[in-house]
Amino acid sequence: MIEIDPLIGLRMINDGSLSLISTRREERNNVATLSWQAPLSQEPPMLGISLTPSSCSNHYLQETGEFVLSIPDASLIAEVHYCGTHSGKDVDKVRFMELRTLRSQKVIPLLISNCIGHLECVVHDRQNIGDHIFYSAEVITALVETDYFDKGWNENAQTLYHLGGSLYRTAGHIADALEFPLPDSRISKPSENIFGRGREDVFIEIGPSPDSTP
């Protein structure tokens, strides 16, 4: 993983792919799935996110003013769905989903190191918009896995897009998150752990259907 210019780092969310927002208050960590985000400014590099007022992420962010956006790929579809459908008030999702973490460079919230890119952010402004709260924040550090990013996501990056419910799209393929197993320690019956294999083995395979012509 390398550090890149925060302005170039904004390209991680240019395509509208979802992210995991990491927040921290005292010794408590929280991670949630976020699909409402957008670049806002080039100088300084800024982005905007929209949160539900009752969410744990919003409560932590109001107190600390710092967060990290970590960009997952298709190998984390089950974890992404779980983090988007369960509240941090009820469960420590970082521990429960066995997500790996690293200390950030300049902010207190942790990086979700299973992901392929990270944006460390500091809040500049907060305002109520309809039934959500909108935060504008400056990107002060951008980190990325070089195998998946070359001035933008390359063909190796299978970023995720939420279509509603348990459906997600990646590289033109639509997948139901409920069809992918959670880590073995989170379920009662043994099953193949697709997250224990190498990253190159856990991507969703995309190709022509058996009935398609060459």
Task: For the chain, give every domain's residue range.
Answer: 2-177
Return d(Cα 176, Cα 182) in angstroms, integer.
Answer: 13
| Per-residue confidence (pLDDT) for residue 106, from 0 to 100 | 95
Given a cut of 70, the residues of the chain with pLDDT beneath it are: 172, 183-214
pLDDT given at position 141: 97
pLDDT of residue 90: 79
Q: What is the pLDDT of residue 172?
A: 66
Q: Which CATH superfamily is domain 2-177 in?
A: Electron Transport, Fmn-binding Protein; Chain A (2.30.110.10)
Supply the pTM of this predicted model. Answer: 0.80
pLDDT recorded at residue 59 = 92
Contact criterion met (CB below 8 Å) for 15 and 153: yes
pLDDT in tens, 76-126: 999 999 999 888 887 888 888 888 999 999 999 999 999 999 999 999 999
Amino acid 186: pLDDT: 56
List the Cα angle 183/189/195 in 5-degree steps.
Answer: 20
Report the distance separating Cα 65 and Cα 58, nearest Å. 10
